[in-house]
Amino acid sequence: MTSGVDLGRPQAQTVGSDEDVVRVRQMVRTVAVAVRLSLVDQTKVVTAASELARNTLVYGGGGTVEVTAIDNGRRPGIRIVFADSGPGIADLELALTDGYTTGGGLGLGLSGARRLVDEFDIQTAPGQGTRITITKWSR
């Protein structure tokens, strides 16, 4: 590991502006490189993080992102948690449909990000905020 990322200790970033989304991307990339994701997988997980961090900002009214290098005993991976205390999502199934949007985007953020990672978990309820956890394993 040349990047000096401490495996196992999460790195956190608050998301309150556009520039923070850029910082999240850079943070995710550093960890993705450290856990030796292939170039394509790095690109996928950074793209997913970019979509979800933007959601946290736009729909969640800002929040936090935590990036952790993990290991399941057989292979290393990266886990990212996006948390906000915004309005939450009422109809999750609808929100995960391609092309559905309330924010004037392309409606690919949630559904697209889910396709780019290995594990995708979302916990949300109206008024309860949203917490999304994604994981990508090294091959």
The number of residues that bind other proteins (CB under 8 A) is: 28
104 binds other proteins (CB under 8 A): yes
SS3 assignment, position 43: helix
Q: Indicate the helix (H) or strand (E) that contains 45.
A: helix 39-58
The reply on whether position 135 binds other proteins by CB under 8 A is: no
Closest CB to other proteins among residues 9, 72: 72
- Amino acid symbol at 10: P
Say what the alpha-carbon torsion angle 9, 128, 88, 133 is, to the nearest 10 degrees.
20
CB of 57 to other proteins, least distance (A): 9
CB of 9 or CB of 11, closer to other proteins: 11
Residue 108 in contact with other proteins, rule: CB under 8 A: yes
The smaller minimum CB distance to other proteins, of residues 42 and 130, is found at: 42
Question: Which H or E element spans position 28?
Answer: helix 18-34
- Hey, CA dihedral for 80, 81, 86, 92, is it positive or negative? positive
Q: What residues from 13 to 72 belong to the interface with other proteins (CB under 8 A)? A: 18-19, 21-22, 25-26, 29, 39-40, 42-44, 46-47, 50-51, 54
